[in-house]
Amino acid sequence: MINVVDTYPETNCGSAVVVAIHKLKTDRESHRMIKNQTARKRVEKERVAMNLRAEHAGLPEPKTMEDYQLVFRNEYQFIVMEDTGKDFRVKFKGEPQDQQLYFIQSTKTGLYNVVKNPSTLVGKKFFCRKCQEPGPSMKSHKCKPPDI
Ligand SMILES: [Zn+2]
């Protein structure tokens, strides 16, 4: 898991999105940014730019993960997992996209962190990125039918 340094409730969600997007990138700057999220206010600046982008697209100012999913609907699939204390459940997921952003939301604080590897998070060998179900192995896995 990658901790999102910004724990201010108003901006944590947007900062988590910035961190998750840079997690997918492999360039050195992105790597550095995740390691030192407050340096040169880069996360903050990108969050502000991202919100402007939403405005330019005619969308309301994004505040929730659902709002940010709408901004990036043609680029990324957002998957929000919730830690219930006993297990992890998918709280929200957007339309399928090749590139996925996984988040974990704390039930206590409502704050988001970024999930590096969903199978590690749920403590299973296998985690299906198509239906978000964990399991012992890919071989024995059958995709869960989508919710109606
Ligand atoms: Zn599956």
pLDDT tens digits, one per residue of 42-82: 999 999 999 999 999 999 999 999 999 999 999 999 999 99
Q: Are residues 58 and 131 in the same domain?
A: no
pTM metric for this prediction: 0.93
**5, 78, 105 from 111: Cα distances, Å:** 11, 15, 6
Q: To the nearest whole percent, how much of the chain has pLDDT over 90?
A: 80
Q: Are residues 86 and 44 in the same domain?
A: yes
Rounded distance, CA 105 to CA 13, Å?
A: 10
What are residue 100's DSSP bridge partners? 77
Residue 136 has pLDDT above 90, yes or no: no
Q: Are residues 63 and 132 in the same domain?
A: no
Q: Are residues 52 and 87 in the same domain?
A: yes
What is the number of domains present in the chain?
2
**Domain encompassing residue 142:** 119-148
User: What's the CA-to-centroid distance between 135 and ligand 1, angstroms?
Assistant: 9
Q: Are residues 88 and 134 in the same domain?
A: no
Q: Are residues 62 and 135 in the same domain?
A: no
Rounded to an integer, what is the distance from CA 9 to the centroid of its chain?
16
User: What's the CA-to-centroid distance between 146 and ligand 1, angstroms?
Assistant: 10
Residue 147 has pLDDT above 70, yes or no: no
Q: For position 44, what pLDDT does the model report?
A: 96
In a domain, 43, yes or no: yes
User: What's the CA-to-centroid distance between 21 and ligand 1, angstroms?
Assistant: 23
Q: Are residues 95 and 128 in the same domain?
A: no
